[in-house]
């Protein structure tokens, strides 16, 4: 009877290497330090609308805004919807966190809805009269440490006075006097580095990787127009800072006297 030679048993080191070959790369230890992470967020829309802040009736009835997506380049060569942060202990590598590429369109739609709920007039195009252009930014925020649970989604809403807008608000107030009083309002509402011509607020939400884009954009809007001091400012601006009366038009000079008739 022909005997088949027995297989030589593999060494323990080869067996261990074979097992490690099936371990995902993200779980394998790196001798030179931690590996950077890349988190792709998942946006969901909650069905319930968050309650509005309690503000004076008609506070923003005189304001009209044009809402658009903010066009800002991505950080560290990332896509516009992504944020990058240098890895803690290894500044040559970045952690990255991204919201979905279509989150910007959804954020603009939700911000428009929220602003209308607060009584602002939202125009459809720049051909209509408006006072402020509202830019909406939504982007991922990466943590310093390689911990995916530290990733966040950021929504930022910025009001900028329309350069060529024909809205009625600035035509009816003394912009210089109103701008001086707005400094106190910005401080009370925690609007950092803001002035009457441009003010902004933002909100964060954990991205694990799911986040509620309705709640996130609602918080960003509430943090700006939901401030009672800001609402009272726009409600009373026409009375407190009336536009100076226009100078009367110069009257036409009387016609010169007629020359005397020549004698016959």
What's the pLDDT score for residue 24? 35
What's the pLDDT score for residue 22? 30
What's the pLDDT score for residue 262? 63
What's the pLDDT score for residue 90? 87
Residue 258's contacts (CB-CB under 8 Å, 6 or more residues apart) are none
What's the pLDDT score for residue 25? 33
What's the pLDDT score for residue 257? 73
Is the omega angle on the peptide bond into residue 38 within 30 degrees of 0, that is, cis? Answer: no
Domain ranges across the chain:
33-39+59-240
Write the pLDDT tens digit of every residue in 148-196. 999 999 999 999 999 876 788 998 999 899 999 999 999 999 998 899 9
**Strand (E) or helix (H) holding 122:** strand 121-122
What's the pLDDT score for residue 130? 95
Find out whether 192 and 167 touch, Cβ atoms under 8 Å. Answer: no
Find out whether 145 and 86 touch, Cβ atoms under 8 Å. Answer: no
What's the pLDDT score for residue 184? 95
What's the pLDDT score for residue 89? 86
- Which of the residues in the chain have pLDDT under 50? 1-31
What's the pLDDT score for residue 193? 87
Q: In whole angstroms, how far apart are CA 177 and each of 15, 192, 210, 253?
A: 79, 20, 45, 36
């Amino acid at each position: 009877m022909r005997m088949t030679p027995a297989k030589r048993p593999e060494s323990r080191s080869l067996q261990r290497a074979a097992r490690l070959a099936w371990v995902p790369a993200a779980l394998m230890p790196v001798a030179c330090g931690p590996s950077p992470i890349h988190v792709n967020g998942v946006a969901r829309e909650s069905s319930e609308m968050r309650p509005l802040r309690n503000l004076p009736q008609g506070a923003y009835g005189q304001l009209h805004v044009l809402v658009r997506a903010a066009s800002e380049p991505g950080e560290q060569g990332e896509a516009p919807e992504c944020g990058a942060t240098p890895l803690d202990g290894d500044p040559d590598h970045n952690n990255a966190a991204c919201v979905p590429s279509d989150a910007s369109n959804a954020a603009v739609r939700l911000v428009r809805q929220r602003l209308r709920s607060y009584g602002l007039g939202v125009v459809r195009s720049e051909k209509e009269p408006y006072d402020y252009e509202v830019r909406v930014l939504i982007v991922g925020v990466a943590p310093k440490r390689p911990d995916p649970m530290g990733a966040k989604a950021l929504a930022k809403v910025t009001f900028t006075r329309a350069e060529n807008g024909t809205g009625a608000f600035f035509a009816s107030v003394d912009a210089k006097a109103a701008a001086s009083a707005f400094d106190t309002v910005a401080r009370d509402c925690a609007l950092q580095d803001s002035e009457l011509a441009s003010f902004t607020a933002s909100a964060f939400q954990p991205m694990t990787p799911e986040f509620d884009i309705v709640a996130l954009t609602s918080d960003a809007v509430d943090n700006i127009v939901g401030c009672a001091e800001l609402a009272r400012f726009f409600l009373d601006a026409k009375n407190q800072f009336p536009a100076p009366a226009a100078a009367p038009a110069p009257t036409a000079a009387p016609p010169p006297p007629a020359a005397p008739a020549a004698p016959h």
